[in-house]
Amino acid sequence: MERKKVTIAELQAKKDAGQKITMMTAYDYPSAQLVDQAGIDTILVGDSLGMVVLGYDSTVPVTMDEMIHHCKAVRRGTEHAFIIGDMPFLSYQVSLEKAVENAGRFIKEAGCDSVKLEGGSDMAPVVEAVVRAGIPVCAHIGLTPQTATMLSGFKVQGKDAESARAMVQSAKDLEVAGAFMVVMECIPDLLAARITREIRIPTIGIGAGLECDGQVLVYHDLVGLFERFTPKFVKQYTNLAPTIRDALIQYREEVEQGTFPGPEHSFAMKAEEAEKLVDS
């Protein structure tokens, strides 16, 4: 059966049918191709690229132009997956007009299918404005990396009754505002399960337990390409960094020793032609 482009309606149908939704980050053409070929439902071009690709200490320095650049590459590498572009810090918090304008760039310039933005009930007016402009929005609650400093660092959120109630309300407010999906990061599994039951739209967990409607991980974490730290919620399915490093070391050694390139990697010239070259 030929695989078609994933749509919001199909993602909602998966939740309604109790089928799990898959999401993975990708930041460039080759990784997008691999994620798409693996049959993943949705690709998030996350502002996490600031840390795992650009080498920043956090996601805060990431700019709109950097996000658009990477989203374009992912779009070129994707045929089937639903693409979500992550709105970077201060691209949507300044004003509703700026939020709509920047969200529009993800659709018009980068070819994304939707955008994602962080925040709870306070961001509901922004979600509503962007959706009203015809741009689908994926919400993001719990640990929101762009404002991690205000949350006292990268810690589990919603652990007490008061903050848990606020998070449930945030999810409901964001759904009413028009969000088609909500990512829940680093919250207790029972809280994530309750939110998943109480809202109609799909929930995607990252460090939020098994009862979410789907899961997302960072590509570089999953394949072992980011060695600075590994969050508790990450399952590393392979560890490519040592393999790649060993290959690079072998290449350096063979070049230094004069064993690469060998005859099989070189283009030969007939002896008589070489002689003519010398004679000239």
Q: Supply the residues annotated as catalytic.
A: 185
What's the CA gap between 46 and 98, in Å, rounded? 20
Q: With beta carbons less than 8 A apart as the criterion, state whether 233 and 206 touch.
A: yes
> Residue 278 burial (CB < 10 Å; 0-12/13-18/19+)?
exposed
Angle between helices 64-76 and 96-108 (to 10 degrees): 30
Q: With beta carbons less than 8 A apart as the criterion, state whether 66 and 87 touch.
A: no
What's the CA gap between 29 and 71, in Å, rounded? 9
- The closest of 235, 115, 248, 236 to 183, measured between CA atoms, is 115
What's the CA gap between 72 and 106, in Å, rounded? 9
What's the DSSP call for residue 119? B
> Residue 115 burial (CB < 10 Å; 0-12/13-18/19+)?
buried
CA angle 119, 124, 127 (to 5 degrees): 90
Angle between helices 29-37 and 64-76 (to 10 degrees): 50
- The closest of 26, 45, 47, 46 to 36, measured between CA atoms, is 26
Q: Which amino acid is at 177?
A: A
